[in-house]
């Protein structure tokens, strides 16, 4: 198999480039033929993926973080090439969501004989695909702060610091949310629409989410005090927050979120426009190289 390895040099604060010599060594033990290319921008990466079929490429291997995967999705979906992932970012939630090995060497090793897993690919407003979670509200504000401070901290500790910063000025807001044919109007802290369990550097926002079941899992945190929000925060890492009486969990295929306030939307850790937003899960899928269990 001829595999194009696309390396994001900025991922993990330059971690990808530092690890590249070792990655090349570990991958060379496979029978596959690997080509390596550096992509410094999302547009450059998408261009390389789009031209890959004409070059006889059989699969794409992304070396970077969750943002690398997110920005590659449109081209991956259009070419229908299977892709693998070598996690070198800060949060690495996509790796958690598809149960990749914890260490990079094992990730390189399983690619010698991977399984091919088909995942749902939902979209926002029928134009922005996402693979893990789309969200608005408090978690979006935390995400914005995390993106602004990438050079200082990351991972779980970084998200905890950003939570404390975001909590200071955050105010709940009113939304109208429609899940398929049912509508609610609530004052909320946040609304998350999940195709996968994990986001935010290991937070298990939707414990029951499955990436190939044709459904989106919704977590709506209704208005609560800042103290209560902070008290519940550690529970998100284990997924035990879902039993709180002010947290509503639901599933659906089409989720529409509307608010009179301007609120930024995020998906897979990246900015994804503003409300109103409609998240749909249709028939579009992507193929991922994953470990055999």
203/218 Cα distance (integer angstroms): 15
Asked whether residue 57 carries a pLDDT value surpassing 80, the answer given is yes
Whole-number pLDDT of residue 84: 94
pTM over 0.85: yes
pLDDT digits (tens, 9 = 90+) for 244-273: 999 999 999 999 999 999 999 999 989 999
Burial class (CB in 10 A: 0-12, 13-18, 19+), 63: buried
Alpha carbons 218 and 281: distance in angstroms, whole number: 13
3-state secondary structure of 206: coil
Residues linked to residue 201 through DSSP beta bridges, in sequence order: none
Cβ neighbours of 277 (radius 10 Å)? 22
Pick the CATH number of 2-113 from 3.40.190.10, 3.40.50.10330, 3.30.70.120, 3.30.1330.10: 3.40.50.10330
Three-state DSSP state, 13: helix
Specify the pLDDT at position 111.
86
Q: Which of 229, 251, 211 is nearest to 171 (CA)?
A: 229
In 3D, which of 133, 128, 98 has the Cα closest to residue 116? 98
Work out the average pLDDT over 28-33: 90
Tens digit of each residue's pLDDT (9 = 90 or more) over 180-199: 999 999 999 999 999 999 99
The pLDDT assigned to 285 comes to: 95
- For CATH 2.60.200.40, the residue range(s) in the chain are 128-283
Q: What is the mean pLDDT of the chain?
A: 92
Overall fold of domain 128-283:
Tumour Suppressor Smad4 (2.60.200)
Instruction: CATH 3.40.50.10330 in the chain: give the residue spans.
Output: 2-113
The H-or-E segment that residue 199 falls in is: strand 198-199
| Residue range 225-244, pLDDT digits in tens | 999 999 998 899 999 999 99
The answer, yes or no, to whether residue 222 has pLDDT greater than 70, is yes
Q: What is the dihedral of CA 80, 81, 87, 92, to 10 degrees?
A: 10
* Geometric angle at alpha carbon 118, from 117 and 120, rounded to 5°: 140
Q: How much of the chain, in percent, has pLDDT values that exceed 70?
A: 96
Token pair 């990436």 is found at 211
Residue 69 to residue 114: CA distance in whole angstroms: 18
Identify the residue with better confidence: 214 or 103. 214
pLDDT of residue 76: 96
H helices then E strands: how many in the chain? 8, 19
The tokens describing 124, both together, are 């926002």
Q: How far apart are CA 245 and CA 288, in angstroms?
A: 37
What value does the mean pLDDT take over residues 125-139?
95
What confidence tier does 101 reach under pLDDT thresholds 50, 70, 90?
confident
Check residue 151 and give its pLDDT: 53
Tell me which residue of 153, 154, 241, 261 sits closest to 192, measured CA to CA.
Answer: 241
Distance between CA atoms of residues 231 and 28, nearest Å: 48
**DSSP at 281:** -
Phi/psi-derived region of residue 223, left when phi > 0, alpha when psi is between -120 and 50, beta in every other case: beta
**274 contacts 264 by C-beta, under 8 angstroms:** yes
Closest CA to 201 of 104, 65, 73: 65
| 129 contacts 71 by C-beta, under 8 angstroms | no
Average pLDDT over residues 269-282: 94
Q: Which stretches does DSSP call E strand in the chain?
A: 2-7, 33-38, 59-64, 83-87, 115-120, 123-124, 128-129, 133-137, 173-179, 182-194, 198-199, 203-204, 216-222, 247-252, 254-258, 264-267, 270-274, 277-280, 285-290
């Amino acid at each position: 198999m001829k595999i194009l390895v696309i390396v994001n040099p900025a991922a993990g604060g330059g971690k990808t480039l530092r690890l590249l010599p070792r990655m090349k060594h570990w991958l060379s033990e496979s029978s596959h033929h690997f080509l390596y290319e550096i992509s410094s921008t999302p547009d450059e990466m998408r261009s390389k993926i789009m031209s890959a079929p004409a070059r006889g490429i059989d699969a794409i291997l992304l070396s970077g973080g969750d943002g690398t995967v997110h920005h590659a999705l449109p081209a991956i979906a259009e070419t229908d090439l299977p892709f693998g992932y070598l996690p070198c970012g800060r949060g690495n939630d996509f790796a958690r969501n598809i149960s990749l090995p914890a260490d990079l060497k094992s990730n390189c090793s399983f690619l010698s004989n991977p399984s091919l897993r088909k995942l749902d690919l939902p979209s926002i407003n029928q134009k922005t695909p996402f693979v893990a979670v789309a969200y608005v509200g408090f978690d979006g504000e935390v995400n914005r702060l995390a993106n602004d401070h990438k050079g200082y901290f990351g991972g779980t500790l970084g998200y905890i610091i950003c939570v404390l910063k975001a909590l200071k000025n955050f105010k709940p807001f009113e939304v109208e949310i429609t899940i398929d044919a049912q509508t609610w109007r609530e004052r909320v802290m946040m609304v998350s629409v999940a195709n996968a369990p994990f986001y935010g550097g290991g937070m298990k926002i939707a414990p029951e989410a499955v990436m190939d079941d044709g459904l989106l899992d919704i977590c709506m945190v209704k208005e609560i005090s800042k103290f209560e929000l902070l008290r519940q925060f550690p529970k998100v890492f284990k997924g035990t927050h879902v039993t709180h009486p002010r947290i509503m969990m639901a599933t659906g295929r089409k989720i529409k979120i509307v608010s009179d306030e301007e609120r930024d939307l995020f998906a897979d850790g990246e900015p994804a426009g503003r409300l109103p937003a409609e998240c749909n899960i249709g028939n579009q899928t992507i193929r991922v190289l994953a470990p055999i269990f």
